[in-house]
Amino acid sequence: MADKISTRQAYGNTLVKLGAENPDIIVLDADLSKSTMTAGFKEAYPDRFFNAGIAEANMMGMAAGLAFSGKTVFASTFAMFAAGRAYEIIRNSIGYPHANVKICATHAGITVGEDGASHQCVEDLALMSVIPGMTVVHPADGVSTEKLLRQVAALDGPVYVRLGRLAVPVVYDEGTGITLGKAILAREGSDHTVIACGLMVNEALQAAETLEKEGISVRVLDMHTLKPLDEEAIVRAATETKSIITAEEHSVIGGLGAAVASVVARRCPTKVSMVGVQDRFGQSGKPEELKKEYQLTAEDIADAVRAADAEMK
């Protein structure tokens, strides 16, 4: 299980398989196919791949037009230019008319690394989640990426899939049952619950391992689908464990932490601590250095759990 694969690579691999199964799948990219990994699909199905050039807004508009002509469209670029630059086109031409477009955005979060803040999108989950009818997915590893993408492809409607640049450990067995909209109980525990998404799931599992040795039992939920959110899993965590710690490679404003806190506040008031980007822009650096700088490591999660545990004793 020590294998590593980036979720963007898993996306590229899955896309080639989906292309063989569904002739209505069309893939668009904005001059980043070798980075978003749509290049594999382009090679396999050149007639169904279209480069939009460095024009993300038009890529999203074309994606809507293709979708309303019966195609299942996958449109890829970096998260910054999908959710950021093309936001209003996604909102008005894809979200509002509920187009069957899968926006698969790679290089999300600060682990983009050396490119720095202009390319490190930590706002995309917030921007996409606020669009009515948009499904928002952020897988943790290669296995869950493929399993979730298959369900995303079968869904009729707009979906935002957040993918990473960095190779990350494979967390799940091929046999793990993974369902869109249902949190994965990645580890059972009874004292506190860490609810994580993306590469923070692996960090949360490591933190739980460390804390087990200190006598703190931690449940880990992989909340790969931020919308629609698995509220029941959150309510169970809030009622069965003492507190919730969220962990995301995204701003704590408008992302997983905010979504979980909203459910908890409405349904089962409980302490929620948030590990995530604290209202800051990113910067250049190596991914592992940046994870430390922005306090997004297993140790940071463990510290948050310890603090909550001490406070609640």
Write out the residues near other proteins by the rule CB under 8 A.
26, 47-48, 50, 52-53, 55, 57-58, 60-71, 88-89, 92-93, 96-98
Is residue 56 annotated as part of the catalytic site, yes or no? yes
The least CB distance from residue 225 to other proteins, in Å, is 24
Write down how long the chain is.
Answer: 313
Nearer to other proteins, 44 or 57 (CB): 57
Cross-strand bridge partners of residue 105: 77, 162
Nearer to other proteins, 98 or 271 (CB): 98
Please provide the DSSP assignment of 190-215 as one string: SSEEEEE-TTHHHHHHHHHHHHHHTT
The least CB distance from residue 27 to other proteins, in Å, is 12
The least CB distance from residue 3 to other proteins, in Å, is 37
List all residues 6 or more positions away from 267 whose beta carbon is below 8 Å from its beta carbon.
231, 234, 235, 238
Take residue 137 and report the two structure tokens written for it: 């997915």
Side-chain half-sphere CA neighbours of 159 within 13 A: 27
Q: Give the separation between CA 29 and CA 77, rounded to whole angstroms.
A: 6
Helices (H) and strands (E) in the chain, counts: 13, 14
Map residue 137 onto helix, strand or coil.
strand
The least CB distance from residue 102 to other proteins, in Å, is 14
Give how far the C-alpha of residue 298 lies from the chain's centroid of Cα atoms, to the nearest Å: 18
Region of residue 159 (left: phi > 0; alpha: psi -120 to 50; beta: else): beta
Q: Give the separation between CA 46 and CA 42, rounded to whole angstroms.
A: 5
Helix axes 200-213, 298-311, angle to 10 degrees: 50
Cross-strand bridge partners of residue 25: 72
Nearer to other proteins, 88 or 288 (CB): 88
243-251 vs 271-277, strand pairing mode:
parallel
The least CB distance from residue 128 to other proteins, in Å, is 18
Nearer to other proteins, 46 or 269 (CB): 46
Q: Of 43, 56, 146, 231, which is the active-site residue? A: 56
The least CB distance from residue 82 to other proteins, in Å, is 15
Nearer to other proteins, 98 or 306 (CB): 98
Nearer to other proteins, 93 or 202 (CB): 93
CB 83 within 8 A of CB 127: yes
Q: Which residues are catalytic?
A: 56
